[in-house]
């Protein structure tokens, strides 16, 4: 049986892949930072020699929400650069058949036209709020293409939009927008206080449910035969404002009357609408989970796991 090593295997997307893994005929290895420090090349090399994977899904990264990106730029840049260097080097040395590495639409240029597509990734500087993280992730694509050009390796990058779902990081300061708001609204409900949403709520985003992304990553592994990066995203018509998302979350807690937007906080990038035309042309029948349903399932999971989840 062919094997798949999933780095970042206990994170948001790794757990989603684990959930659906029984539907696929592979032996999966889900590796977390507790099992291997991927910033250490020797440890990474030992891991690869032990597992000798046929395929690698590279999800491991130093990630966080807007405020972590703004306040910890050195860590966001250096740790991601080192992780990616070590993982791809080991994949090449081990002659891995195919590598799927995960980028993000937040790394696209700030000053650009919309919708953004795969060819626009390096067309200008990213938004200053996440530039260190963005450049590190862009270099992952550069490095992948270098291995393709020099050695013919099958190293592909996927570019998802904002991901959410069970097993997310629900930390109030470092989490992405949906899990942070889910946690904040929960605390507001418990203490009968206002549900404070940071920023104006005006920015627009496309959100993809983690299990949908897991299915698309495995589709990319099995069916996507191009060498270029591909955006894995809901349709542009599914774009919603942060205000709309806050209302969806508040509705699940019966807290719609308690929302307050704190405009003293930065909104970050106003929009980063992604064009999923390439995906739709290749996989037109894929059905995405509606965001209302995904948020409801995420809140249920959070309530059931509040004592043990990352927060």
Q: What residues pair up with 209 in beta bridges, in sequence order?
A: 164
Respond yes or no: is residue 29 known to be catalytic.
no
3-state secondary structure of 304: helix
Helices 242-252 and 291-304: crossing angle in degrees, nearest 10, is 50
C-alpha–C-alpha distance, residues 97 and 88, integer Å: 12
* Exposure letters 71-89 (e unless 16+ CB within 10 A, then b): ebbeebbebbbbbbbbbbb
Q: What kind and span of H or E run contains 237?
A: none
Q: What H or E segment, with its residue span, contains residue 150?
A: helix 131-151
Say if residue 251 is exposed, middle or buried (CB neighbours under 10 Å; 0-12, 13-18, 19+): middle
* C-alpha distance from residue 178 to each of 19, 161, 185, 240 (Å): 21, 13, 10, 12
Rounded to a whole number, what is the distance in angstroms from the first to the last CA of the chain? 37
Nearest of 98, 240, 119, 128 to residue 177 by alpha carbon: 240
Q: Of 55, 114, 133, 265, which is the active-site residue?
A: 133
Measured between alpha carbons, how far is 14 from 58 in angstroms, rounded to an integer? 9
Nearest Cα to 311, choosing from 104, 160, 296, 301? 301
- Give Dmax (Cα) for the chain: 60
Going by their DSSP bridges, the two strands 204-205 and 240-241 should be labelled as: antiparallel
- Quote the CA–CA distance of 67 and 173 in Å, as a whole number: 7
Q: Which residues are catalytic?
A: 133
């Amino acid at each position: 049986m062919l094997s798949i090593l999933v780095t970042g295997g206990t994170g948001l997307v790794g757990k989603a892949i684990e959930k659906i893994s029984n539907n696929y005929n592979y032996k999966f290895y889900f590796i977390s930072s507790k099992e291997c420090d991927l910033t250490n090349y020797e440890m990474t090399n030992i891991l690869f020699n032990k597992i000798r994977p046929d395929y690698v899904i590279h999800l491991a990264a130093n990630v966080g929400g807007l405020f972590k990106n703004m306040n910890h730029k050195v860590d966001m840049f250096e740790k991601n650069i080192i992780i990616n260097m070590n993982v791809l080097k080991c994949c090449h040395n081990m002659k891995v058949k195919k590598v799927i590495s995960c980028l993000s639409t937040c790394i696209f240029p700030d000053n650009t036209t919309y919708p953004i597509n795969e060819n626009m990734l390096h067309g200008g500087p990213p938004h200053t709020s996440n530039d260190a993280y963005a450049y590190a992730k862009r270099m992952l694509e550069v490095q992948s293409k270098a291995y393709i050009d020099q050695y013919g390796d099958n190293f592909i990058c996927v570019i998802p939009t904002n991901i959410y779902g069970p097993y997310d990081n629900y930390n109030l300061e470092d989490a992405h927008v949906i899990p942070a708001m889910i946690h904040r609204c929960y605390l507001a409900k418990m203490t009968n206080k206002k549900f404070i949403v940071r920023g104006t709520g005006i920015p627009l985003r496309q959100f993809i449910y983690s299990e949908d992304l897991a299915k698309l990553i495995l589709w990319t592994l099995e069916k996507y035969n191009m060498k270029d990066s591909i955006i894995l995203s809901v349709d542009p018509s599914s774009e919603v404002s942060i205000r709309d998302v806050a209302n969806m979350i508040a509705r699940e807690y019966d807290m719609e009357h308690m929302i307050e937007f704190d405009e003293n906080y930065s909104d970050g990038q106003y929009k980063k609408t992604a064009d999923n035309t390439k995906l739709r042309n290749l996989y037109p029948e894929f059905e995405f989970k509606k965001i209302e349903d995904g948020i409801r399932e995420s809140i249920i999971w959070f309530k059931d796991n509040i004592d043990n989840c990352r927060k």
